[in-house]
Amino acid sequence: MELEPALREQEERVDSLLKAANKYVGTLKTWKKACQVGHINNLQKSAAQAGELVNALPASTSETQEAWDFDINAYLAGDDWRLELQAAAEKLNLKTLEENGELISSPVMVQAVYRTNSLKIGKTGWATIRPQLIANELKRLRDATAAANSQQFLESLHEACVHLSGERDPHATFSAIYELFCFAPGYKKENPPAAFGQQIYALHRSENRTTRKLKRLTIELATGNVKEKDVFSVISEDGRPIRYYSLFFK
């Protein structure tokens, strides 16, 4: 069972409906114009044509509705969504792994949430689940990680820590820093939690640890009873989960 061809077929049917609807709207405009200028022949002709078109629309709409018989619950509850997403990712040269019914595309994990007909990428829910679009998003996330400016990000983290805890002992949780960054207009939209986690991962993988002020970074992973909302989870390239919690500078 594949979602892509089912969506393409439904899209083509809706395109036909749009063409019919646009033709109906065009006829209504002609009808209105005939009324405005008193062109009786055009008025009668467009009125009759509009009647024919509008009578055909309900049947065409019902046929299109009935043609969508894809069992999305079964699709997401089984293996089909992963197989199709893996095939779409492969076309983009994205490496993926399977683990416990979930799909790993470093640095995030993709899960099916069949109760809401959606997927979850990292901690972010995705209601738009067309496989090719999801694969494109996974590639964007991977490329963002590869292109992350670790030094600039490091300096920003240090400034945030100083703002939150002072110059003498700069430390903070990543969640507190993320909330601070989100005060900047448009930041959260451009950098959802998954993207922020990728930047942490890119910095962690890099050798950059020292700021221009010669303050050295230490990254702390989540241990013990920490709140899940304060953890930024990513998946390493070898499939291992990494849970980032806090950081400090010395």
Contact 187, 200 (CB under 8 A): no
Indicate the residue among 67, 89, 115 that finishes a domain: 67
DSSP 215: P
Residue-wise pLDDT tens digits, 12-55 = 999 999 999 999 999 999 999 999 999 999 999 999 999 999 99
> Does 106 lie in the same domain as 162?
no
Same domain flag for 231 and 245: yes
Q: Does the residue 141 lie in any domain?
A: no
If asked whether residues 8 and 98 sit together in one domain, one would say: no
The beta-strand segments (E) located in 82-183 are: 97-99, 102-105, 108-113, 118-121, 124-126, 171-173
Q: How confident is the model at residue 148 (pLDDT cuts 50, 70, 90)?
A: low
Q: Which residue has the higher pLDDT, 234 or 195?
A: 234
What range does the domain containing 81 cover?
72-131
| 11 and 90 assigned to the same domain | no
Give how many domains the chain has, as a whole number.
3
Q: How confident is the model at residue 236 (pLDDT cuts 50, 70, 90)?
A: confident
Residue 7 has pLDDT above 70, yes or no: yes
Phi, psi (deg, nearest 5) at residue 239: 90, 0
Residues 59 and 76 in one domain: no
Average pLDDT of the residues in 180-196: 88
Please report, as a single letter, which amino acid is at residue 210: T
| 124 and 46 in a common domain | no
Residues 112 and 158 in one domain: no
Whether 140 maps to a domain, the answer reads no
Q: Which of 89, 104, 131 is the last residue of a domain?
A: 131
**Looking at the domain assignment, is residue 94 inside a domain?**
yes
- Cα–Cα nearest to 244, from 125, 236, 230: 230
pLDDT value at 97 more than 90: no
On the CB side of 179, CA atoms within 13 Å amount to 10
105 & 152 share domain = no
